Chain A
Amino acid sequence: MADGLTNAAPAVSTRPVVSAMSITRRYGEGESAVDALRGVALEVMSGELTSVMGPSGSGKSTLMHILAGLDRPTQGTVEIAGNDITQMNDNELTLLRREHIGFIFQFFNLLPMLSAEENILLPLSLAGEKPDTEWVDELIGKVGLADRREHRPSELSGGQQQRVAIARSLVTRPTVLFADEPTGNLDSTTSDEILQLLRGSVDDYGQTIVMVTHDAGAAAVADRTMFLADGLLVKDLGRSSSSQVLAAMNDIQTAAAR
């Protein structure tokens, strides 16, 4: 395990954009309290695709929610782009999300009454900002929706809808993009397309991405994969193949079974 940590030195070492210090998260009180996270510290480096893996109940979703400011840790602090987000009020968090954070969800979450392009522009419109037409055109081209701009979500396939969601999350050029099981609701071919798109945004635009997944294939496109078990960070791999990721998962599960 110590090996894994030392191996984690990224190829292009830059500054951390998200850092978490000794995060714990406890749900409920007293006897029935559940500790979802029991002290997790990590740094997400700029321009990297970091994936978070772990068996269900390991705390990976909770970790992502806390890193993204959607949930508060019981203890510990989280900094995004140098701001301590654990002390922010709702309004400050909203403004932080506008400026620094993008989201991709498992269930796409598009507005049914808006066209693909309108959905993509939604974060800018909420922030009251004028879209940069060139960037928007490039983005729409990149996600392959140039001929689908005026289509409503109900007229698009699942993969196309997720591509709209990706473009929506990239349109504000967020400091970090959080993807929660982005391929969880898609078939394998479409999943690959979506993963390549995410990978591409890291390679082409230097986008920082944190992706929660339980799909070893998804983790394989990441620069770094962190493994969570029982609320603790148990392994941190650099770029790995899907078989390496699977092996690591197996190790963790057998360790847990013992």
Chain B
Amino acid sequence: MRTATVKGLLGRKLRTGLTALAIVLGVAMIAGAFITTDTMLKASDDLKQASYGTADAVVSGRTAFKLSDNNNGASQRKSIPESLAKQVQSVPQVAFASPEVDGEAKLTDKNGKVDKSSSGPPFAVGFDTSNPTARDLSPFKIRSGALPTQPNQVAIDKGTFDRKHYRVGDTIGAIANGSVQRFTITGTVTFGGVNSIGSASAAVFSLQGAQQLLGEPGKVDSILVRSKPGVSASEVRSAIAQTLPATAQVQSAQSQDRFDLSGLDSFLKILRTALLVFGFISLFVGAFIIFNTLSITVAQRTKEFGLLRMIGASRRQVLGSVVLEAIVIGLIASIVGIAAGFGLSKLINALFTSSGIDLPTAGTVFAGRTVIVAIAVGVGITTLAGLGPALRATRIAPVAALREGNVDPVRKRGKLGWAVTILTSAIGIGLVSYGVFANGLDATSVLVSMGVGSLLLFVGVALVAPQIARPLASVIGRASERFGGSAGRLARDNAMRNPHRTATTAAALMIGIALVTFVAVLGSSMRTAFDTQIGNTVKSNYVVTAPDGFAPFSAGTADALAKQPGVTAASVREDQVKAFGDKQSIDGIDATAGQVLQFNWKSGSNATLAQLGSDGAVITKKFADKHDLKVGGTLTAQSASGDKLNLTVRGIQKPSEFNPLGLADITISRQLFDKTFEQPKLRYVFVNTSMPEKQLAASVSQFPDAKVWTLAAYKKDQDKQFTSFLNILYALLALSVIVSLFGIVNTLVLSVFERTRELGMLRAVGMTRRQVRRMIRHESIITALIGAVLGMVVGVFLSALVTQALSQYDVGFHLPIGTLIAFLIVSIVAGVLAAIGPARRAGKLNVLQALQYE
């Protein structure tokens, strides 16, 4: 029996292969998710490991708390005098002390434009590049060319170098706090063993060059220490600690990470979950296809199973044979899928890179867990999907062997069947509604109940689908009849003749289309809400930001703008403080802010913004409620450098729910902000003026890290970022659509095979090859459109539920008609693509052989 199964599979290579493909992509996605994120986490780990290289100790300024890198505000390290390096060098246990300057400086190209292609932090570092021990201590290693030795030289990371097609000897600019300074490129550097530091860029200067650029002559940010042979790292640390002033501290290289990558790590974990979710969606779609394909092949092999039963096979053996078939298919698919996962992980990386999200990479990490999970899931899902057809095969009576032809057994739904269908759909809708509307659920429960609910809803709709497939095919087929003539008409009849098969095939596509529709509708509704909320808050006609829209930029921009005649400008600067024990963003705003921004005041008014003085603060309602603060109440915020701010609440405002500008919970006056933070940087300048855009842009041309937008252009750019996020989702969901295409291909191949003699007759009575191909193509399009229509109905329904729940956040239901029409067109194209192979096969059938086929 086992031999018969395996031989049977080998004899139907094409069918087995096509069926396996349905699972391959899902498994590839899961393997790819693990490989990609394992690799990135490893890279992030390497970054941490390498961040202070081989230093035994790192001396730095003492800060009150560690800043997060996901803060958009300026980096505010507390610098230490360069002379401290000499003092550390004189400690007996110290072999070498290398002073280092660390900061951020954006690079500008030959045209003076800021490199927008790297959106991560632009690291700038300077050390004594002429000293071999200092070079050894630094994690930045020369890769080509030479390290800079003069103050006007720079070595940059290979990624930027290649991307901008620089050559050694080119002159580029760098901008930190002042205006642009020019540097000559001497070579490229890499960071530790990491190929790329993701979207970050790096520039290595001589110690002097970095001090000039970052505006701290005579000061450094850290001192990297190598201990004498035989002295342990902890011994050298305690020896140094005794000599340091109170403003400095000594730490191990590990605890003094150059980068706080906790943000990246948690992003990678979310990414992994997201990719796994998309992998499971593809597998879920694949399960439909396995189910459908095995159902069809079981039906086509009725005679064979009857014969097996006749010669003595038990029901259990028949069951075992079909299940074994599923297991073998699942196993083959999983192994191929894991291999494909490697390729996919590269593709995912490319996808992120092209969307401007460059993540760190290192050597590919392939964990044993990846293999185990991929195989378990691949085989498990295939086997589960094969159970239904396997059970049906056991019901074939031995007498079937004697009957003429193989007939699809008529499946009649009993009361129980209907009860299951209705119950499944109802529980699905119930779970989704619960997730969306119930109060006080955490994000995970909301997502889980929505996810499980949607899956059940999909199953429910798939169970109802055979009942509605006939009328749907009939209606959609009208178009085929119109455009495809006689062949189109036959296609319509063919799509209607086995509604079970058409429905299950379409249901696989339905899932993908439902999800993209959901994303499109929700995305469009959110975007509309987002635009409205920006419009409600921003009352200026220009917005100035960094070229990428969110990076911090030079504070000088605001002053340059304010000096222009007929201009009302108000800047927002941002940094971090610790308040009530939590790290917190803090904004500093100009007194003129009330003229360009409209806050939604709970207490106070726009005039309050001009009266903050040296101790006033405006806080958000959320923050006020959390800490039980009222106007007149006080709070203390501590900056990273240790300064304490005693603030009095002057106003409470409630920002719109999405907080589209990303403003902080605490807002203080610009004067207090600049007094507290050493090197303030800007998030926004809002400008009201009748000056034309060109002239306004010219007035800040000495700050290449600032960009002037009209309000409309700014909104559009924000939309663009939103769109590229949606595009990533579409690309990931496209995978499940592709999987469902294989389902259509499968069904078509099987029905062409089944209808061989019929096709022979059609050819004999005058059907041309073209007409045969057209007929198959239209069948495919009809099936695809049934899937698309079902999917859109489910997708719109789900998104309507969610927008209803989001109405408290001012989100209205907004149908993106254009996008939905595009999805319909995509479905038609998908149908055409799926039909290519089967249609060619059908067209090529030899009429005579087809007629004699049994």
| With contact pairs A113-B494, A113-B496 given, residues A70 and B848 touching in the complex (Cβ less than 8 Å) | yes
Choice from A94, A113, A125 contacting B486 with Cβ under 8 Å: A125
Closest to B487 in A: A126
Main secondary structure of the interface of B (DSSP, over half): helix
Q: How far is the CA of A242 from the CA of B59 in the complex (A)?
A: 117
Closest to B496 in A: A113
A88-100 CB contact bits vs B (8 Å, 1 = yes)?
0011001101100
**A227 close to chain B: CB less than 8 A:** no
Within 8 A of A (CB), among B331-376: none
Contact partners of A126 in chain B: CB under 8 A: 486-487, 762, 765-767, 771
CB distance from A179 to the nearest CB of B (A): 12
How many residues of chain A get a CB closer than 8 Å to chain B's CBs?
A: 27
| With contact pairs A94-B769, A97-B766, A168-B765 given, residues A112 and B847 touching in the complex (Cβ less than 8 Å) | no
Contact A70 B851 (CB under 8 A): yes
**A5 close to chain B: CB less than 8 A:** no
**A123 close to chain B: CB less than 8 A:** yes
Closest to A65 in B: B848
| With contact pairs A65-B848, A71-B848, A109-B761 given, residues A94 and B493 touching in the complex (Cβ less than 8 Å) | no
Contact A123 B758 (CB under 8 A): no
Contact partners of A128 in chain B: CB under 8 A: 485-486
CB distance from B217 to the nearest CB of A (A): 86
Contact B766 A98 (CB under 8 A): yes
Choice from B760, B768, B848 contacting A94 with Cβ under 8 Å: B768
Q: How far is the CA of A112 from the CA of B498 in the complex (A)?
A: 11
Contact partners of B766 in chain A: CB under 8 A: 94-95, 97-98, 123, 126-127, 172
Q: How far is the CA of A125 from the CA of B485 in the complex (A)?
A: 8
Contact B758 A94 (CB under 8 A): no
Choice from B493, B757, B769 contacting A90 with Cβ under 8 Å: B769
Closest to B497 in A: A113
Q: How far is the CA of A95 from the CA of B767 in the complex (A)?
A: 8
Closest to B843 in A: A90
**B764 close to chain A: CB less than 8 A:** yes
Contact partners of A168 in chain B: CB under 8 A: 765
B390-418 CB contact bits vs A (8 Å, 1 = yes)?
00000000000000000000000000000
**B309 close to chain A: CB less than 8 A:** no
Contact partners of B765 in chain A: CB under 8 A: 97-98, 102-103, 122-123, 126, 168-169
Q: How far is the CA of A70 from the CA of B490 in the complex (A)?
A: 23
Contact A111 B493 (CB under 8 A): yes
Contact partners of A91 in chain B: CB under 8 A: 768-769
Contact partners of A90 in chain B: CB under 8 A: 769
**B763 close to chain A: CB less than 8 A:** yes
Q: How far is the CA of A97 from the CA of B764 in the complex (A)?
A: 7
Contact A103 B764 (CB under 8 A): yes
Contact B493 A114 (CB under 8 A): yes
Contact partners of A169 in chain B: CB under 8 A: 765
Q: How far is the CA of A95 from the CA of B757 in the complex (A)?
A: 20
Contact A125 B764 (CB under 8 A): no
Contact partners of A122 in chain B: CB under 8 A: 486, 762, 765
| With contact pairs A91-B769, A94-B763, A97-B766 given, residues A70 and B847 touching in the complex (Cβ less than 8 Å) | yes
Q: How far is the CA of A94 from the CA of B763 in the complex (A)?
A: 7
| With contact pairs A70-B851, A126-B771 given, residues A105 and B761 touching in the complex (Cβ less than 8 Å) | yes
Q: How far is the CA of A3 from the CA of B485 in the complex (A)?
A: 53
**B777 close to chain A: CB less than 8 A:** no
Contact partners of B768 in chain A: CB under 8 A: 91, 94-95
Closest to B493 in A: A113
Contact B493 A70 (CB under 8 A): no
Interface centre among B496, B760, B768 (most CB of A within 10 A): B768
A-B contact count (CB 8 A): 63
CB distance from B223 to the nearest CB of A (A): 84
CB distance from A210 to the nearest CB of B (A): 14
CB distance from B286 to the nearest CB of A (A): 30
CB distance from A157 to the nearest CB of B (A): 15
Choice from A70, A111, A112, A114 contacting B764 with Cβ under 8 Å: A70
Q: How far is the CA of A90 from the CA of B490 in the complex (A)?
A: 21
Contact partners of B487 in chain A: CB under 8 A: 126
Closest to B485 in A: A128
Choice from B758, B760, B771, B847 contacting A111 with Cβ under 8 Å: B758
Interface centre among A91, A98, A126 (most CB of B within 10 A): A126
Contact partners of A103 in chain B: CB under 8 A: 761, 764-765
**B683 close to chain A: CB less than 8 A:** no
Q: How far is the CA of A114 from the CA of B769 in the complex (A)?
A: 21
Contact partners of B489 in chain A: CB under 8 A: 125
CB distance from A124 to the nearest CB of B (A): 9
Contact partners of A109 in chain B: CB under 8 A: 757-758, 760-761, 851
Q: How far is the CA of A69 from the CA of B767 in the complex (A)?
A: 14
CB distance from A32 to the nearest CB of B (A): 19
Q: How far is the CA of A109 from the CA of B762 in the complex (A)?
A: 9
Contact partners of B762 in chain A: CB under 8 A: 111, 122, 126
Closest to B761 in A: A109
Closest to A102 in B: B765
Closest to B405 in A: A107
| With contact pairs A90-B769, A94-B767, A103-B764 given, residues A111 and B490 touching in the complex (Cβ less than 8 Å) | yes
CB distance from B585 to the nearest CB of A (A): 67
Within 8 A of A (CB), among B473-527: 485-487, 489-490, 493-494, 496-497
Contact partners of A123 in chain B: CB under 8 A: 765-766
Q: How far is the CA of A98 from the CA of B763 in the complex (A)?
A: 10
Interface centre among B487, B757, B767 (most CB of A within 10 A): B767
Contact partners of A94 in chain B: CB under 8 A: 763, 766-769
Contact partners of B769 in chain A: CB under 8 A: 90-91, 94
Closest to A98 in B: B766
B757-795 CB contact bits vs A (8 Å, 1 = yes)?
110111111111101000000000000000000000000
Closest to B489 in A: A125
A101-136 CB contact bits vs B (8 Å, 1 = yes)?
011010101011110000000110111100000000
Choice from A98, A105, A113 contacting B851 with Cβ under 8 Å: A105
Closest to A103 in B: B764
A64-94 CB contact bits vs B (8 Å, 1 = yes)?
0100001100000000000000000011001
Contact partners of B485 in chain A: CB under 8 A: 128
Contact partners of A102 in chain B: CB under 8 A: 765
Closest to B760 in A: A109
Closest to A178 in B: B764
Q: How far is the CA of A105 from the CA of B758 in the complex (A)?
A: 12
Q: How far is the CA of A113 from the CA of B489 in the complex (A)?
A: 11
Contact partners of B493 in chain A: CB under 8 A: 111, 113-114
Contact partners of B490 in chain A: CB under 8 A: 111
Contact partners of B771 in chain A: CB under 8 A: 126
Contact partners of B758 in chain A: CB under 8 A: 109, 111
Q: How far is the CA of A21 from the CA of B808 in the complex (A)?
A: 87
Contact partners of B763 in chain A: CB under 8 A: 94
Closest to B844 in A: A90
Within 8 A of A (CB), among B745-762: 757-758, 760-762
CB distance from B105 to the nearest CB of A (A): 71
Q: How far is the CA of A169 from the CA of B765 in the complex (A)?
A: 8
Closest to B490 in A: A111
Closest to B492 in A: A113
Give the interface of B toward A (CB within 8 A): 485-487, 489-490, 493-494, 496-497, 757-758, 760-769, 771, 847-848, 851
List 17 other contacts, CB 8 Å, given A94-B767, A109-B761.
A70-B764, A70-B848, A70-B851, A90-B769, A94-B763, A95-B766, A103-B761, A103-B765, A109-B851, A111-B490, A111-B493, A111-B762, A113-B494, A113-B497, A114-B493, A125-B489, A172-B766
| 8 intermolecular pairs with C-beta atoms under 8 Å apart | A65-B848, A70-B847, A97-B764, A102-B765, A107-B757, A109-B758, A112-B497, A126-B766
Give the interface of A toward B (CB within 8 A): 65, 70-71, 90-91, 94-95, 97-98, 102-103, 105, 107, 109, 111-114, 122-123, 125-128, 168-169, 172
User: What 9 pairs across the A-B complex have the smallest Cβ distances?
Assistant: A98-B766, A109-B761, A125-B486, A113-B493, A113-B497, A70-B848, A123-B765, A94-B768, A126-B766
